Chains A and B, each alone.
Chain A
Amino acid sequence: MSPLRGRAAIVGVGNTRRWNAPGRTPFDQAQEAALLALEDCGLGLKDVDGLFCAISSSGLPVLNMAEKLGVRPRHADGTMVGGASFLFHLQTAVSALVHELCDVALIVYGSNQLSAGGRLVSMPDPQPYEAPYRPRYPISSYALATSRHMHDYGTTREHLAEVALAARAWANLNPDAFARGPLTRAEVLASRMISDPLTKADCCLVTDGGAALVVTRAERAKDLKAKPAYVLGTGAAVSHRQIAAMPDLTTTAAAESGRRAYEAAGVGPAEIDHVMVYDAFTITTLIFLEDLGFCPKGEGGRFVAGGAIAPGGSLPVNTNGGGLSCNHPGMYGLFTVIEAVEQLRGACGERQVAGCATALAHANGGVLSSQATAILGNAAAL
């Protein structure tokens, strides 16, 4: 168990729920989320002295956010490892808080990916050993991993469809989800192929959005407005940049980040009540459920068959509707944590997981490249 276990807590969450908001910049979304998160816990901008930020379209997001919010951080972290960045930030924030590098940490993100034209904002990171072959970024990299998972373990497109259907079923219980309404297996399987074997229905949404977390030491958390979500353990890992350099296309560094988080928290997968895994594509849900120990390696497809991760199934996964059906503003990682906190607070209405005391949030960045896991718990889990 880590000496940091339970020493810090997420006390405020901010979610703009503006999935299609023309006329707002990524920083507009991020500022709004920051204000919502601070209001959620009753703290103010002047209390923020630790600032954590990554934004696809900005090389210096911390500086921009500090100026716009008028905060004067004494600790900052702009680590950029793609969609997992914010869970790397959370891990660092816990340590910074405990070691008194800061007292109130704000982790914040915003995107206008949909209203700015729908394409993934490409970061200045040319890949000369991929470019001549014209892979579609990032889907072709995930498609290559999927081809290998199918080859090695017999995973099928029907298995992938189960993930999309489960996500939509959860989204239909979430009034804030962007993609709601009926979705049939036949529709998913008939979806347009983009990079074999992945179709449009296997891809996450493209939306706008803003998200923020406020994190403090546990002593302070008790006196704030909202019920604290204690950080029981975190883990992070990086394995590669280009998909061809990934050591094994069917096992990600989530196996390492997950093990570190479980060890830090002193729990295992069997003690997790609620799971959020970054579903950039349907295949990622399967691979992360395997790598995080919810089913054996290669069994992800058979594990989800029959509705195991859908409402009413044996394991509640991606209960907001996920990146597939709730929202996906470029880098989705922070939203996995927000839903975990809301579930721990018991604030999820129709989609609430009964008796939720521990939650696992897992995020992915790049092309299965960076992985970070956080295990959270309410007071009962301490």
Chain B
Amino acid sequence: MSADPRFDGPGPDDIFATALSQGRFVIQRCRACAASRFPPALVCAVCGSADLDWVEASGLGQVYATTIVRERDGAYNVAIVALEEGARMMTRVDGVVPADVRIGLKVRARIATDPTPHVVFAPAEGESR
């Protein structure tokens, strides 16, 4: 095999999904410039380095943008959370009615498992419900 050994092993999506299925929320951090990256990819979006590390996310973040999806069978939140590490992700904020999910709300992650593992958030301790 003459493939470049830097890229050996499972790809970044697979690494993320495997960790999540084991109850761990991991994100990438660039060894060259320290920028965080989510969703996973092979290179740093900030500096272009292919030298990315995997770190446990702190799970803390703030709501950056929010909407309420209105379906016939009810309404639910969809949000973008800015992680403490810097990257953003689409997610849902639970534990509070959708109308109370406001931009700037401090939130903490947990891993939901239905139907497949995915990261959701709830207001962090000390945030008014």
Contact = CB atoms under 8 A, between A and B. Distances in A.
A330 to B, nearest CB: 22
B90 A242 contact: yes
Interface string A164-201: 00000000000000000000000000001111111000
B80 A144 contact: yes
B57 to A, nearest CB: 14
Nearest to A197: B67
B92 A196 contact: no
A148 interface: yes
A23 interface: no
A194 B70 contact: yes
Given A135-B90, A147-B67, A243-B90, A140 B78 contact: yes
B60 interface: no
Interface stretch (A124-132, A153-161, A374-382): A124-132
Contacts of A148: 64-65, 103
Most chain A beta-carbon contacts within 10 A, residue among B45, B70, B112, B116: B70
12 contacts: A130-B90, A133-B78, A133-B92, A134-B69, A135-B67, A151-B65, A193-B68, A194-B69, A196-B68, A244-B39, A244-B89, A249-B65
Interface in B56-107: 64-70, 76, 78-80, 88-92, 103
Contacts of A132: 112, 115-116, 118
B10 to A, nearest CB: 15
B53 interface: no
B78 A135 contact: yes
Nearest to A244: B90
Q: Which 7 A-B pairs have the closest CB atoms?
A: A132-B118, A143-B67, A144-B65, A196-B68, A129-B39, A244-B90, A148-B65
Interface string A72-91: 00000000000000000000
Nearest to A144: B65
Nearest to B102: A151
Contacts of B90: 129-130, 133, 135, 242-244
Contacts of A244: 39, 80, 88-90
Contacts of A144: 65-67, 78-80
A134 B76 contact: yes
A140 B69 contact: yes
A66 to B, nearest CB: 35
Interface residues of A, number: 27
Interface of B: 13, 38-39, 45, 64-70, 76, 78-80, 88-92, 103, 112, 115-116, 118
A135 B67 CA distance: 9
Interface of A: 128-130, 132-136, 140, 143-145, 147-148, 151, 192-198, 242-245, 249
Contacts of B103: 147-148, 151
Contacts of A249: 64-65, 80
Nearest to A149: B65
A134 B45 CA distance: 26
Given A132-B115, A144-B65, A195-B68, 20 more contacts: A129-B89, A129-B90, A132-B116, A132-B118, A135-B69, A135-B78, A135-B90, A140-B78, A144-B78, A144-B80, A148-B64, A192-B70, A193-B68, A195-B69, A197-B67, A198-B67, A242-B39, A242-B90, A245-B45, A245-B88
A138 B116 CA distance: 23
B13 A195 contact: no
Nearest to A250: B65
A117 to B, nearest CB: 18
Nearest to B70: A193
A166 B65 CA distance: 27
Contacts of A198: 67
Nearest to A241: B39
Nearest to B115: A132
A197 B91 CA distance: 18
A181 to B, nearest CB: 26
B118 A196 contact: no
Interface centre among B76, B90, B115, B116 (most CB of A within 10 A): B90
